[in-house]
Amino acid sequence: MIELYQFAPAWGLPNPGPFCIKLELYLKMTGLPFEVITENDTRKGPKGKIPFIRDDGRTIGDSELVIQYLNGKYGDRVDASLTAEQRARAHAISRMLHDSTYWVLLYCRWMQDNGYRAVREAFFGGLPWPLRSVVPPLVRRSLKRDLTGQGLGRHSRDEIFSFGFADMDALSVLLGDKAFLLGDVPTSVDATAHAFIMSFVGPPIDNPMRERIQRTANLMAYYRRMNERFYPSLVGR
């Protein structure tokens, strides 16, 4: 059976990591049997990141490469009927969420004090003393370096949120009044979009991105629709 390695759940959500939610949701969409295994040590992943899978003795990291692998081995059970135009749209949306929105999420969680307090408690609260107090500031410092290297961390708070708002506004326009991003049926890009919306809306961390999404009617209706279908236990949250 496929083994999906991902972080321990937090905040009553299936996972605190957007890429973990995405891959778990994608696997649900395929209907393939899989088992979730908790792994909090990113060094165990073949790319030094979480999530990753093990299947038939192979270990594959990176949600996109895992999806490519699954499609190659088991056939494309989710996106097979998409047109070239729909695939291009899905690609552009996924890249926006992976390579732009994700950094705004990191900023909200790790650089803003309320986010940092919440992740420190959720991710490290169970560690023995003194690790509980030593590890979180080290992770925070390393992510600050990553944000500076990527570039987003060089901007002011307002500028950072303006980039995040632009992503969510684009997502809202692209969704329009459709049930799912590409029409009436959920596809892999919905796994990605839902994962990112859940990552902002689900945790008890107030920030302008969360407020923006909560004020965007079609994104919230979409969030509820996806939960009804894939995470019924989250309906009403």
Ligand X SMILES: N[C@@H](CCC(=O)N[C@@H](CS)C(=O)NCC(=O)O)C(=O)O
Written as six digits, the tokens of 145 are 């370096």
Out of 19, 116, 200, 231, the only residue in the binding site for ligand X (CB under 6 A) is 19
Sign for the pseudo-dihedral over CA of 20, 207, 122, 202: negative
Residues 23, 34: Cα–Cα separation, whole Å: 11
Interaction between residue 64 and ligand X (CB under 6 A): yes
* Pairwise CA distance, residues 24 & 18, whole Å: 10
Q: CA-CA distance, 175 to 171, in Å (whole number)? A: 6
Chain-centroid distance, C-alpha 139? 19
Binder of ligand X out of 36, 42, 44, 155 (CB under 6 A): 42
Segment contacting ligand X by CB under 6 A, of 33-41, 58-66, 78-86, 118-126: 58-66
CA angle 33, 19, 46 (to 5 degrees): 80
Does 192 bind ligand X (CB under 6 A)? Our answer is no
Q: Identify which of residues 48 and 183 has a Cβ nearer to ligand X in the complex.
A: 48
Work out how close the CB of 130 gets to ligand X at its nearest, in angstroms, rounded to a whole number. Answer: 22
Closest approach of Cβ 61 to ligand X, in Å? 7
Name every residue whose Cβ is closer than 8 Å to that of residue 68 and which is 6 or more positions away in sequence. Answer: none
Binding-site member from 2, 5, 17, 164 for ligand X (CB under 6 A)? 17
From CA 96, how far away is CA 92, in angstroms rounded? Answer: 6
Choices 45-53, 75-83, 113-121, 126-134 (CB under 6 A): range interacting with ligand X = 45-53
Q: Does 63 bind ligand X (CB under 6 A)?
A: yes
50 binds ligand X (CB under 6 A): yes
Written as six digits, the tokens of 7 are 């972080």
Q: If you search the block for the tokens 């708002």, which residue do you land on?
A: 165
| Binding map of ligand X across residues 209-228, x = CB under 6 A, - = no contact | --------------------
**C-beta of 62: minimal distance to ligand X in Å?**
4
Where does this chain bind ligand X (CB under 6 A)? 17, 19, 42, 48-51, 62-64
